[in-house]
């Protein structure tokens, strides 16, 4: 078989890895563009619309809207050959984020008063990544990859009055590393790649607002840090031609979210916090996600893909406001149109169903079930 027989096969399939059950990942790093022939560039936009709501154990709705907000992002990729056996690339994407708002979407049907609802979490945090990657071809079959990733956490807000937190934080950056290797058999479009990403920690400086909890506990004027991080990742991707113009692939991604919690730390003593002590806000669990897909080329201009993706959960019960789902499973479809041999447009979508979880089951609990997310994407690429 010839590699050319697979040219143009669309692999735009995407998953709704919005996190919260196991972290806060938004977009996974993809090194696939480093294996494009010659110089290559692409720009893509992605929009995700989740619907995450809750009911009482008796089935009464306690939310007026989704607790997790919609988000749009732009991803950029560019790659060029600098030597016969070496290429460099750069990619920019929204790596992680939390768009969580109980205060605007929780109702008094839950049995809570308006004042109690005001103490529930509202968090807005975004982390974008700019990665520089180099690929060196040892021979026709084996290549190694390495790079640097600069993550930037933008200015963030965290209001969790029940925990004594009401803060606006100044953004921060963190450097992490990328390493990997790949094995290819070009004649059958076989590629197996293993990529490792190191953890990145963010300490966002903040001034706490005055917050009165219960008996006027107040931390007016306190300063501190909001700590967040993206974990170590292990990515395994394998693709192969299985018939003329037909490509199959499978991927696995492990993320160590258990050691990458969101926490708050005061640097001055106050009525609620002891200086230097970290108070955890999240209870993320380690995750392993999978995807299996199939791409098919039709003629010289069109190709399409379909993929099934899933992720295990941390259990059917939760005591964390940040854990609203127990795993996920989704279906992605994509299509690609080649204007010519250099320029193409791809578009696709993903529909994800989130697993049921009960919050504070020992106290009667609220049930998060029947929740979903829809993701749409568009990508334009050009080879030089």
- pLDDT tens profile 142-159: 999 999 999 999 888 887
- Cα four-point dihedral sign 4, 247, 343, 89: negative
Model confidence over 301-355: pLDDT tens digits? Answer: 999 999 999 998 888 888 888 889 888 999 999 999 999 989 999 999 999 999 9
Question: Are 312 and 327 a contacting pair, CB within 8 Å?
Answer: yes
Tokens representing 284 are 């993320």
What pLDDT, on a 0 to 100 scale, did the predictor assign at position 76? 95
- Cα four-point dihedral sign 214, 220, 223, 229: positive
List Cα–Cα distances, 81 to 75, 101, 180, 186, 318, in angstroms: 21, 45, 18, 18, 49
What pLDDT, on a 0 to 100 scale, did the predictor assign at position 20? 42
248: Cα within 13 Å, side-chain hemisphere:
4
347: helix, strand or coil: strand
What pLDDT, on a 0 to 100 scale, did the predictor assign at position 382? 95
What does the alpha-carbon distance between residue 239 and residue 250 come to, in Å, rounded to a whole number? 7
The set of residues, in sequence order, having a beta carbon less than 8 Å from that of 368 and lying 6+ positions away, is 52, 53, 54, 324, 325, 354, 356, 357, 358, 359
pLDDT at 220 over 90: no
Model confidence over 22-76: pLDDT tens digits? Answer: 578 888 898 999 999 899 999 999 999 999 999 998 899 999 999 999 999 999 9
363: helix, strand or coil: helix
Question: Are 362 and 374 a contacting pair, CB within 8 Å?
Answer: no
Tokens representing 125 are 């945090």
Exposure class string for 42-59: b at 16+ Cβ within 10 A, else e: bebebebbbbbbbbeeee
Question: Are 42 and 8 a contacting pair, CB within 8 Å?
Answer: no
User: What is the bridge-based pairing of β-strands 246-255 and 263-266?
Assistant: unpaired
- Its pTM stands at 0.89
Model confidence over 354-371: pLDDT tens digits? Answer: 999 998 866 678 999 999
Biggest distance spanned by C-alpha atoms of the chain: 75
Tell me the β-bridge partners of 331.
308, 351
What pLDDT, on a 0 to 100 scale, did the predictor assign at position 108? 93
Q: In angstroms, how far is CA 369 from the centroid of its own chain? A: 21
**Count of CB atoms within 10 A of residue 115's CB?**
8
What does the alpha-carbon distance between residue 56 and residue 35 come to, in Å, rounded to a whole number? 50
List Cα–Cα distances, 227 to 85, 124, 158, 169, 278, in angstroms: 41, 14, 11, 10, 9
* Helix, strand, coil percent values for the chain (each to nearest 5): 5, 55, 35
What pLDDT, on a 0 to 100 scale, did the predictor assign at position 84? 92
Scan for tokens 């070009």, then name that residue.
186
What does the alpha-carbon distance between residue 42 and residue 76 come to, in Å, rounded to a whole number? 6
The lowest-confidence range among 104-108, 270-274, 306-310, 328-332 is: 270-274
Tokens representing 217 are 């506990």
Residue 20: what are its φ and ψ, rounded to 5°?
A: 70, -45
What does the alpha-carbon distance between residue 29 and residue 159 come to, in Å, rounded to a whole number? 30
List Cα–Cα distances, 214 to 112, 211, 281, in angstroms: 15, 10, 19
What does the alpha-carbon distance between residue 42 and residue 343 come to, in Å, rounded to a whole number? 10
Band (pLDDT 50/70/90 cuts) for residue 199 is very high
pLDDT at 3 over 50: no
Model confidence over 167-182: pLDDT tens digits? Answer: 778 888 999 999 999 9
């Amino acid at each position: 078989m010839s590699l050319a027989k697979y040219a143009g096969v669309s692999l735009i399939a995407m998953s709704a890895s919005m996190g919260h059950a196991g972290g806060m990942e938004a977009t996974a790093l993809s090194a696939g563009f480093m294996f494009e022939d010659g110089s290559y560039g692409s720009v893509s936009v992605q929009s995700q619309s989740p619907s995450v709501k809750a009911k009482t154990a008796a089935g009464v709705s306690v939310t007026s809207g989704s607790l997790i907000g919609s988000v749009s992002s732009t991803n950029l990729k560019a790659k060029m050959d600098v030597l016969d056996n070496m290429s460099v690339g750069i990619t920019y994407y929204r790596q992680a984020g939390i768009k969580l708002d109980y205060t605007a979407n929780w109702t008094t049907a839950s049995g809570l008063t308006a004042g109690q609802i005001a103490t529930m979490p509202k968090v807005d945090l975004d982390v974008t990544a700019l990665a520089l990657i180099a690929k060196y071809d040892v021979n026709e079959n084996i290549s190694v990859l390495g790079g640097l990733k600069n993550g930037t956490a933008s200015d963030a807000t965290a209001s969790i009055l029940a925990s004594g937190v009401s803060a606006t934080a100044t953004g921060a950056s963190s450097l992490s590393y990328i390493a990997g290797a790949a094995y290819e058999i070009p004649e059958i479009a076989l590629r197996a790649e293993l990529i490792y990403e190191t953890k990145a920690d963010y300490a966002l400086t903040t001034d706490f607002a005055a917050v009165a909890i219960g008996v006027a506990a107040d931390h007016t004027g306190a300063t501190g840090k909001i700590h967040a991080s993206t974990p170590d990742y292990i990515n395994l991707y394998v693709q192969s031609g299985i018939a003329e113009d037909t490509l199959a692939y499978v991927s696995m991604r492990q993320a160590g979210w258990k050691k990458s919690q969101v926490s708050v730390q005061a640097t001055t003593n106050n009525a609620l916090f002891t200086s230097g002590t970290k108070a955890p806000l999240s209870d993320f669990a380690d995750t392993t996600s999978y995807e299996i897909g199939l791409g098919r080329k039709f003629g010289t201009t069109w190709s399409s893909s379909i993929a099934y993706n899933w992720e295990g959960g941390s259990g059917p019960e939760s005591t964390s406001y940040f854990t609203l789902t127990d795993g996920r499973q989704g279906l992605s479809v994509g299509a690609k149109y080649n204007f010519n041999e250099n320029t193409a447009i791809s578009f696709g979508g993903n529909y994800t169903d989130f697993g049921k979880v009960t919050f504070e089951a020992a106290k009667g609990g609220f049930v998060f079930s029947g929740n979903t997310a829809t993701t749409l994407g568009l990508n334009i690429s050009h080879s030089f």
